[in-house]
A = this chain, B = another copy of it.
Amino acid sequence: MAEGIQVFKEALFSSVPIEAIFFTESGERELLGFADVIEQRCQQVFRVSDEVIMYLTDTVNPQGILMVLPFLHQEDLSAVEERGGPLVFLDQVRDPGNMGTLMRVADAAGVKALLVSERSADIYNPKVVRASAGSLVHLPLFIEMDLKTVADRLRKKGYTIVATATQGDLTFWDYEWSSNTMVIMGNEAWGIPEEDLELADVKVSIPIFGRAESLNVAAAAALILYEIRRKNPV
């Protein structure tokens, strides 16, 4: 279930089938001008009361538009492997807001797919959907991924596996990023577990200039992923 006009527009002009749309009177006003596309793209259309929307969502101030989308994650990594380009692996990122923001950042930086480990936030959590601001439907997503399996497989295709760590071999500025890189981003509180760090070919750090202990995981991802782009102009 995805809420709000922003995700709605993203889904409408994507290839994702929209199983159903629910909207309230106030939601309907935002949908003016979309009537034709809604008819074409939405399998079921329901005009409902505010109470129904509030019952269906977990939000205190629901936005009056709710869509039911199919599960979006994919199963087969082959196409991603063949296409190449930067990938992100989320290693037990637990906070749904962080995960959604990470999706948005990865999308903006032109990442080719997001791989999510077990014991991470649920990619379909409403807070993830909201924070992703539509990027959930843009980005190829893989869930319950095993880091070792994925790392071994991608390495055979010429990928480098890079971990972000407080103690890195070098800074993200000094590292010569190649486009075929999978970046591991770790948990908000404890980072990347030691045994997972050992699966990386390189450990890269982000320098801290002030007194903060570390960066928020989505901000760190923005720095790393834009650095990959900078060193691999499209």
A110 at the interface (CB under 8 A from B): yes
Q: How far is the CA of A111 from the CA of B133 in the complex (A)?
A: 28
**A215 — nearest CB in chain B belongs to which residue?**
B108
Are A212 and B97 neighbours in the complex by a CB distance under 8 Å? no
In the complex with contacts A97-B97, A219-B101, A222-B223, A213-B139 CB distance below 8 A: no
Q: How far is the CA of A108 from the CA of B135 in the complex (A)?
A: 27
Residues of B within 8 Å of A101, CB to CB, are 216, 218-219
- Count copies of this chain in the complex: 2
Are B212 and A133 neighbours in the complex by a CB distance under 8 Å? yes
Are A215 and B222 neighbours in the complex by a CB distance under 8 Å? yes
Chain B interface: which of A34-42, A47-55, A194-202, A226-234? A226-234
Are A209 and B173 neighbours in the complex by a CB distance under 8 Å? no
Residues of B within 8 Å of A221, CB to CB, are 219
Residues of B within 8 Å of A134, CB to CB, are 211-213
Are B230 and A138 neighbours in the complex by a CB distance under 8 Å? no
Residue ranges of A at the interface with B (Cβ–Cβ < 8 Å): 10, 97, 101, 104-111, 131, 133-135, 138-139, 173, 206-216, 218-223, 226, 229-230, 234
Given contacts A134-B211, A138-B210, 6 further A-B contacts (CB under 8 A): A105-B216, A106-B210, A111-B210, A133-B213, A139-B210, A209-B229
